[in-house]
Structure 1
Amino acid sequence: MNRLAKETSPYLLQHAHNPVDWYPWGEEALQKAKAEDKPILVSIGYAACHWCHVMERESFENEATARIMNEHFINIKIDREERPDLDHIYMDAVQAMTGSGGWPLNVFLTPDKLPFYGGTYFPPVKAFNRASWTDVLLALAQAFQERREDLETQAQNMRDHLVQASGFGTQAVDLDLVPREELFTRAQCDTIYNNIMQQSDKIWGGFGSAPKFPGTFNIQYLLRYHHSFNEPKALNQALLSLDKMIQGGIYDQLGGGFARYSTDAKWLAPHFEKMLYDNALLVDVMSEAYQLTGNELYAKTIADTLGFVEREMTDAGGGFYSALDADSEGVEGKFYTWSKEEIEEILGEDAALFCAYYDVSEEGNWEETNILWVTKPLAVVAEAHGLPPEALEQMLVTSREKLMAVRSKRIRPGLDDKIILGWNALMVHACCRAYAALGVERYRDMGINAMKFCLRNLQNVDKQSFFHTFKGGIAKYPAFLDDYAWLVRALIALQEVTGDAEWLDHAKALTSYVVANFSDEGDIYFYYTQAGQTDVIVRKKEVYDGATPSGNAVMAANLLYLSVVYDRKDWSDRGIAMLAGQAQTAVRYSTSFGVWAGILLQSVKGVREIAVVGSEYKSRMQDTNRHYIPFKVLLGAVTDQPGIPLLEQRERPGETLIYVCEHYHCIKPVNYIEEIINLK
């Protein structure tokens, strides 16, 4: 047993029994590398990662391979979800070296933590045009002995490259010289729309080809663009993407919830791990789609997805777990797939119809087994079998329940039960959005309970700062920019659905903390790590919207929102400066900067400031929430609230009034939101 046995991360614990002398990242390993003057091997992955398991099985559990690693290197295992800061740095380095990245990420460092070589998966013997892992180890050990100076020069150059990559944004746009209407324009929004549509798959939905990720930020932009400028093609592409995912194998047709991505363009064959953040972001965008269309398919999928999260990914205290593994019993997807024979045995005479609907065959639709997915509309299948659609739907409901009962007895995929602050914040936001759209109180309660869990277990004793992760009663690692940005965003959403101002007070305090501890030298953007962290070789600034939204993009949106609430011109100016610095990039690389693109669209369309004051303010806020008003600030109170301009001098005895304003100038107040039309 190696040093990982004392860790709490499920991923690190998976490697605790390897013959490799693994260390967690920390002073003990880093000092040992210096004392013994050895290169460091850092291997980064996560608990739900299929190829991480493969490399462990093939190489890290092999005694002979472990001997080579132990003799020549100080070996460090990192859970990328625990230390995204380190993952970002070393992933960027490997991508710069090789042109690609992924997990497992294996990177070799000098004793000063500087990267000089790296790659992803290496096979145990030469294959797939990749050198074997042992060949790589021996070659690098020899190079470190014989060409040390060359490697250190290479490593220093890489560090300089990483520093330079985060050197943007120190010069702000002079907002007094350039009018806001010239900074952000309808033409930019149109170009972003056209760029997204060029990347769109018009048959199967989504963006690009295989492997295909959900692309929620692009879908959200298309929904909002349609709402803003009445462009049906944008709406159709957004809904096509959602519908095809919901019908696909990427969606768990029995248990709800989405896998991380599809390995094919048709959404049939997922990489089966289920991540908390994907499900949060998809619930977010489905909530908007429901508000816009009223399509019950989205309401049902939200219900089933949040049902899955509640059932399989929620801690007894209310926090949300991180992920479910792709593998069970060492086989990818085994928990989720079916043979036709199994289904016939379970469903009897209903099997033929069930198999026709879900594309189940004798030979299988994926690796000689079957992934359940929908290839034809229910009405078409019902007509082909001479049934009313309602009868088919009822049979499918009963059949799914029977299969779920059998599936629940299978050996389950591994659960990564650590609780990550930022990912919990994303799911809290999703719960709020689902409640806003559908009015199901359980969704709001899930969000409130998870936020209370985070405040109780991940907040530092100083009541200002937070930890990034929590497991086994232990909170670890200072929180990162993403954690804080997403947390502020979730707190804002909680106020909108509860009407409780305390959530906004938390959001304001946290924003001040981020400004004080994460700001770059130009006081425009924010570093990923807070000031004073010493174990990273560079402080990076992240602006790219990847699988999760950029912390900088979300902070820009937070600053703009809270600047309206608290009349903070400094926050408004900073949010605009952040957006101005990324607008051109968002236009040019639209599918990679979707959150920035959405903020740009909001800046062009303007924000509706909605204040509800009176004894019935909470119910009127919820009435407002059900409407699709994507660019809004929504506040409420029983009486006037000094210090919050939107809630000052609004109270009228005996009435609950809704004020709709822009730049604090309000139209005539109304009693019900339905009295005001065209709230775009």
Structure 2
Amino acid sequence: MSADRSQSHPGEPVRTPAAIRVSGNRLKHEMSLYLRQHAHNPVDWFAWGDEALNRAKAEQKPIFLSIGYSSCHWCHVMAHEAFEDDEVAAFLNRHFVSIKVDREERPDLDATYMDAVMAMTGSGGWPMSAFLTPDLKPFYGGTYFPKETFLSVLGQIQRVFGENRRAVDDQAERLVSILAQHDRQRQSGLPDETALDEAVRLAIRRYDNVHGGFSGAQKFPTPLVWQFLLTRFRRTGDDLLGGLVRRTLDAMGEGGLHDHVGGGFHRYTVDASWTVPHFEKMLYDNAQLAALYTEAAAVFGEARYAEIARATLDFLIRDLSDEEGAFFASLDADSGGEEGSFYVWTPAEVLAAAGPTDGPALAMLFGVSEGGNFEGKNVLTRRVPPEQVGRIYPATTTPVDKLVGHYAPLLRQTRAERAAPGLDRKVVTSWNGLAISAFARAALHFNDESYRRAASRAADFLLERHRLSDGGLARAANEGRQTGPGMLTDYALFSIGLFDLFQATGAWRYLEEGRRLLELSLSRFRDPAGGFFNTADNAETPLGRRSEIYDSVRPSGNGAMLNALLTAVALTGEPRYREEAETLLRTHGGTLRQMGLEMSAWLIGLERYLGPYYEATIVGEPDEAETQSLIAAFAALCPANAVLIRLDESSLSAAQALAPVAADKGRLNGKPTAWVCRYGLCQKPTRDPAELRQQLLEGWSR
């Protein structure tokens, strides 16, 4: 049924699309880039808040809730086709209260209503389109709608809502009841090592033996899954599993998912071969992938993985950070209105940059051809071995294996003259927590002061600018203005970032702040039935407080809490943290056994819980060569199974207060000494870096 495009609705005067185009809608006052992108739609948008919700109740209109994010390609498509259309806008303005939400600022609303859409349709995605009663209960939903389909849907909803309101309300009540029952389901029981082994077997069954990664028409990097599988390989030494990890890291690093000119990774590829990406770049993907490649470089001794990790971190500093050290949310997939145009090349463009002698060899290295692999142009890849190129082009002025490194800065300069992808300058606390972890771990492993400084600046920014008046955290900030209270993931992932930064710097204030945030998490987010809610006890929750246990491309709130607690108990010796972690595992252990890879952050936590998981305390003054050698031995391993505590004369009082597990450790014969312990049970103290390495690997293969 098509929409009735003339019927009016009583209430406040309806603004015409023409009037809104001239003066803009309410979103022009918002800080979110995603919301401001819609500020001159002819739709009379509201942001989520009292004004919109009270309007819906007063006028008894259905709510059209549209949720997306600034770098979402299909969000832009629906905006162009539907929300910029006067006919669609006029109908929405007359019959609905239309609300826009940035999912990166309000992940709680996104999770709640995405669950509803998936329950109704069996699938989800963005833009998410949900229809709610005035009391915020969902009754219909979907994702992207083309204009005519959308008008038809609007017309049917307007008619049914007006003529059969009771049926709409009944359907909404049933859906809310189903969601509540699903959220309260618990499959308990403390899991054991069989849960880890079964998850590995599932990964092997799903593995794409041709292209690496997991079988499917599209390829997502899923860094959490590969982090777990790498950790499991380090524990077991299973060469089959190690080969799966390596081939996937190679495929991602060589394919079009990886930006070979500017560093970093795109969101996913639209094909099975890792060639043509969906071009958006997200902070959370790149932070996790940088950490993964850093650790893989240590595990496999592969210089190429170190290069990829460093290039990704350098990209984050160069292109995704502000002058005060915080990291921005994302780069858009579109450039100048075209998807991917910033990143693709023709042979002529490569030759113009590298010249007639080196250009053909460089183009071959990058897989550049006249036909191209994306709309007549080329997404760059690195699948052609330099030896093969060297045989065909033996007379290059720059050695073939040095061509990419030599010309990458020039290619970056060339593409900087193109229309750049949009930058979302939103600073999300949890995503910055992931970045702080990545930089801190890389700083320790590579002994790189620039990465140590980047992690410290980001942490200091959050501690100063994202702290609320009650001591808690803001979810995000945009142009200096905080945007809502923090979620569980913000507290947990920032805590982990601070714990990692403490290990990289030896600065005890970071351990103190990490513990403070962890204690706030325990007090404000606790679910009496077990685990933790997404939102704090004083937060707005339209359909009640909900829990998140399944990991996505990022750790779930509860998965992150599990790892924060286990890291904290290793660093501090506080037994209460281990008890909390065990309770969390016991509460959802049955679900973990059943869901496996869908809860990869939990699997990493379970590996730590089962152990052995060590604390390595290195006692010695920072400027002593022996101290530095012991720290270097720890850092070279980039261990998944240990934390580092640095103890010197100046830090004894801090250790007694914050990490009593380390405070009683001393020197052997007055010399710098390492102590490797597990929950207070210590191996023989050592001054030998090689022996320290051996002790850290006890119970692990590498």
**Do Structure 1 and Structure 2 share a fold, with TM-score over 0.5?**
yes
Matched, 1:448 2:464: no
Quick one: which of 254, 273, 283 aligns to 2:280? 273
Which letter maps to 1:634? Answer: L
Q: CA deviation at 1:207?
A: 1.6
Q: CA deviation at 1:172?
A: 6.8
> What is the match of residue 548 of structure 1?
554
Matched, 1:375 2:383: yes
Which letter maps to 1:19? Answer: P
Matched, 1:157 2:167: no
Which letter maps to 1:649? Answer: D
Matched, 1:97 2:112: no
* Secondary structure of 1:152's aligned partner: helix
Q: CA deviation at 1:562?
A: 1.9
Q: CA deviation at 1:388?
A: 9.2
Quote the Cα distance in structure 1 between the aligned partners of 2:412 and 2:485: 40
Q: CA deviation at 1:442?
A: 0.7
Quick one: structure 1 residues 388 and 210, their matched pair in 2 at CA, closer, same or farther if it must change by over 3 Å?
A: same
Quote the Cα distance in structure 2 between the aligned partners of 1:266 and 1:411: 28
Quick one: which of 350, 364, 368 aligns to 1:343? 350
Matched, 1:648 2:671: no
> What is the match of residue 4 of structure 2?
none
Quick one: which of 34, 44, 50 aligns to 1:11? 34
Aligned length: 662
Which letter maps to 1:642? Answer: Q
* Secondary structure of 2:421's aligned partner: coil
Matched, 1:400 2:408: yes
Which letter maps to 1:22? Answer: W
Which letter maps to 1:558? Answer: A
Taking structure 2 as the reference length, the TM-score comes to 0.91
Which letter maps to 1:656? Answer: P
Deviates more, 1:660-669 or 1:310-319: 660-669
Q: Determine if contact 1:172/1:577 at 8 Å carries over to the other structure.
A: no
Quick one: which of 641, 644, 653 aligns to 1:631? 641
> What is the match of residue 180 of structure 1?
none
Which letter maps to 1:572? Answer: R
> What is the match of residue 10 of structure 2?
none
Matched, 1:195 2:167: no
Quote the Cα distance in structure 2 between the aligned partners of 1:393 and 1:529: 51
Quick one: which of 150, 167, 172 aligns to 2:184? 167
Taking structure 1 as the reference length, the TM-score comes to 0.94
Quote the Cα distance in structure 2 between the aligned partners of 1:318 and 1:396: 29
Deviates more, 1:234-243 or 1:199-208: 199-208
Deviates more, 1:628-637 or 1:303-312: 628-637
Q: CA deviation at 1:646?
A: 2.2
Deviates more, 1:629-638 or 1:137-146: 629-638
* Secondary structure of 1:245's aligned partner: helix
Matched, 1:293 2:300: yes
Quick one: which of 612, 635, 659 aligns to 1:606? 612
> What is the match of residue 358 of structure 1?
366
Deviates more, 1:398-407 or 1:430-439: 398-407
Q: CA deviation at 1:650?
A: 1.6
Q: CA deviation at 1:318?
A: 0.5
Q: How does 1:470-619 map to 2 (within 5 A)?
A: 470-522=477-529, 524-616=530-622, 619=628
Q: CA deviation at 1:561?
A: 2.6
Q: CA deviation at 1:191?
A: 1.8
Q: Determine if contact 1:565/1:645 at 8 Å carries over to the other structure.
A: no
Q: CA deviation at 1:158?
A: 1.3
Q: CA deviation at 1:580?
A: 2.8
Q: Determine if contact 1:192/1:586 at 8 Å carries over to the other structure.
A: no
Quick one: structure 1 residues 19 and 388, their matched pair in 2 at CA, closer, same or farther if it must change by over 3 Å?
A: closer
* CA deviation string 1:39-66 (max 9, x = no partner): 0001011100101111111111111110
Q: CA deviation at 1:622?
A: 4.5
Q: CA deviation at 1:184?
A: 4.4
Provide the aligned C-alpha RMSD in A. Answer: 1.9
Which letter maps to 1:286? Answer: Y
Quote the Cα distance in structure 2 between the aligned partners of 1:384 and 1:340: 17
| Alignment gaps of 5+ in structure 1 | 126-131, 174-182
Q: Percent sequence identity over matched residues?
A: 36
Quick one: which of 213, 218, 226 aligns to 1:211? 218
Deviates more, 1:9-18 or 1:359-368: 359-368
Quick one: which of 467, 472, 483 aligns to 1:459? 467
Which letter maps to 2:677? Answer: C
* Secondary structure of 1:318's aligned partner: coil
Quote the Cα distance in structure 2 between the aligned partners of 1:495 and 1:346: 44
> What is the match of residue 313 of structure 2?
306
Q: CA deviation at 1:288?
A: 1.0
* CA deviation string 1:45-90 (max 9, x = no partner): 1100101111111111111110000001000001110111000001
Quote the Cα distance in structure 2 between the aligned partners of 1:631 and 1:168: 32
> What is the match of residue 25 of structure 1?
48
* Secondary structure of 1:531's aligned partner: coil
* CA deviation string 1:199-235 (max 9, x = no partner): 1112211123122111212212222222211111111
Q: CA deviation at 1:583?
A: 3.5
Which letter maps to 1:562? Answer: A
Quote the Cα distance in structure 2 between the aligned partners of 1:388 and 1:368: 27
* Secondary structure of 1:251's aligned partner: coil
Which letter maps to 1:164? Answer: Q
Quick one: structure 1 residues 577 and 298, their matched pair in 2 at CA, closer, same or farther if it must change by over 3 Å?
A: same
Which letter maps to 2:656? Answer: P
Quick one: structure 1 residues 647 and 535, their matched pair in 2 at CA, closer, same or farther if it must change by over 3 Å?
A: closer
Quote the Cα distance in structure 2 between the aligned partners of 1:473 and 1:397: 37
